[in-house]
Amino acid sequence: MSEIKAPKGTRDIFAPEIDTWRFLENAIHTYYRKFLFQEIRTPIFEHSELFRRGIGDETEVVQKEMYTFRDKSDRSLTLRPENTASVVRAAIESNFFETMTPLRFYYIGPMFRYDKPQKGRFRQFHQYGVEIFADETPQVDAEVIFSAVDFLKKLEIADLQLDLNSVGCPQCRPPYLHVLRQAARAHETELCSDCRRKIDANPLRIFDCKKPPCEAVAGRLPLLSDHLCGECRNHFAAVREALSWMNVPFRLNPRLVRGLDYYTKTAFEITSGQLGAQNALLGGGRYDNLIRDLGGPDMVGIGFAAGMERIILHLGHLQAQPLRVLFVAYGDPRWLAHAVQLAQVLREEGFPVLLDFQGKSLKKQFKKADRSAAAFTLVLAEDEIRSGTVSIKDMARQEQVNIPLKELNAWLKKNY
């Protein structure tokens, strides 16, 4: 019989790393509530159609990376590969767009993509992210970006790079893509087979290719930033201006392309020099048509998602505050009942208390106390029980006192 292991690309999280996760989660809650974001939790799985329509049928994610299955009623469901489509769906479904605008949400949770695992990349991974609906101002783009950068800075993550671009809109993108395809076809023979395929499928992705010949061609291809429509150009300029008000340094990267089809206008990404090949900590942008495309009103949105595993890689392991454990030792099993009752009382008072049910001797129990890094070992054995006292040993100082049981609470208040 073979051992059952965690599925490929998944992992167990436990001490000491789990403390880092709790720290990060708490930091996210604390930080984003300052911006009046509401937490939202959407289902782990959705109708597959939501992601096909939301993310785009032609994207890598939808084509190759979704965990899709049929349930017993033959519905096609998919483990969420990202959360924006779900949040939009939830907002539409709950009629949030009727009442409150603008809407600000944040989320934390697991996402799933059928990818080949490597450093910073998992099949089940965790993202936090924010979404703001129904605010078309460039300043809100800047605020979202500021919050993303500022939060990572507050975590003392160094070596960050913010890349910024505008990916246009349905007004300016199609004409540009036409120009781009023509230009790319002129250099078709110089491109790798992958990029030749991209000319028709998704020519923007040619900019991503790292092969030198393709990079050389890409350097001579027309840029979207030179073909933006008036509205997109003005919006992008205002975003950049607002970012300068907020003192957020960025790098204009006309080759920055997002992997999901719904993005319009502002696109951004924060990368880190300390990660491996998977160096994106966070990515996002504006999606002015997604809400309508998913059956909602004609309202705009902007957001980002951040990879928590990748952030955790930067945080190292926190030195968890060691618990000041009280260990109750009783020696002979005859006194176990007394020990159990004392433990109950102490826990009721809020102390972390440990006792060893299978200890055969005081010696063994002291050994267990030592192994569990107890601050104090309380001895409640024959002598103490006969005299109505308890002995308290300070494990670090190797000092022991004997006091009436009645005074234990007061003693602990003073000495714990």
Partner RNA sequence: GUGAGUGUAGCUCAACGGUAGAGUAUCGGACUGUGGAUCCGAGCGUUGCGGGUUCAAAUCCCGUCACUCACCCCA
Can you give the binding site for RNA, defined by CB under 7 A? 5-6, 8-9, 11, 59-61, 65, 82, 113, 115-122, 125, 127, 194, 205, 208-211, 257-260, 269, 276-283, 305-307, 309-310, 331, 360-364, 366-367, 369-371, 377, 379, 381-384, 391, 393, 395-396, 398, 400
Q: Closest approach of Cβ 372 to RNA, in Å?
A: 10
| 8-state DSSP, 157 | -
Strand 45-47 and strand 76-79: the pairing is antiparallel
Query: Considering beta carbons, is residue 72 or 397 the nearer one to RNA?
Result: 397
Nearest-angstrom CA–CA distance, 288 and 88: 12
Give me the phi and psi of 147, to 5 degrees please: -65, -35
CB of 313 to RNA, least distance (A): 9
| Rounded least distance, CB 19 to RNA, Å | 20
Nearer to RNA by Cβ, of 186 and 396: the residue is 396
CB of 385: closest distance to RNA in angstroms?
A: 8
Q: What is the 3-state secondary structure (H, E, C) of 191-214?
A: CCHHHHHHHHHCHHHHHHCCCHHH
Q: Return the beta strands (E) in 49-102 as ranges.
A: 67-70, 76-79
d(CA 264, CA 158): 29
Instruction: Report in angstroms how near the CB of residue 145 gets to RNA at its nearest.
Output: 13
Beta carbon nearer to RNA, 317 or 360: 360
Which CB atom, from 75 or from 153, has the smaller least distance to RNA?
153
User: Least Å distance between CB 97 and RNA?
Assistant: 24
Q: How far is the CB of 201 from RNA (least distance, A)?
A: 10
Output DSSP code: residue 405. G
- Alpha-helical (H) ranges within 112-247 are 138-154, 173-186, 193-201, 212-220, 230-245
- Longest distance between any two alpha carbons in the chain, whole Å: 98
Nearest residue (CB) to RNA, 9 versus 352:
9
* Least distance (Å) between residue 286 CB and RNA: 14
- The two tokens of residue 173 are 């993108």
Nearer to RNA, 72 or 386 (CB): 386
Angstrom CA distances, 295 to 142, 185, 301, 332, 406, stand at 27, 37, 14, 71, 69
Q: Tokens 């003392």, residue? A: 156
Nearest approach, Cβ of residue 230 and RNA (Å): 28
C-alpha distances in Å from residue 262, one per residue of 34, 109, 138: 28, 21, 18
Closer to RNA at the Cβ: 231 or 332?
332
Contact 268, 306 (CB under 8 A): no
Whichever of 84 and 97 has its CB closer to RNA, that residue is 84
Whether the CB-CB separation of 355 and 339 falls below 8 Å is answered with yes
Between 186 and 401, CB nearer to RNA: 401
Asked whether the bond before 254 is cis by omega within 30 degrees of 0, the reply is no
Q: How crowded is the C-beta side of 28, counted as CA atoms within 13 Å?
A: 25
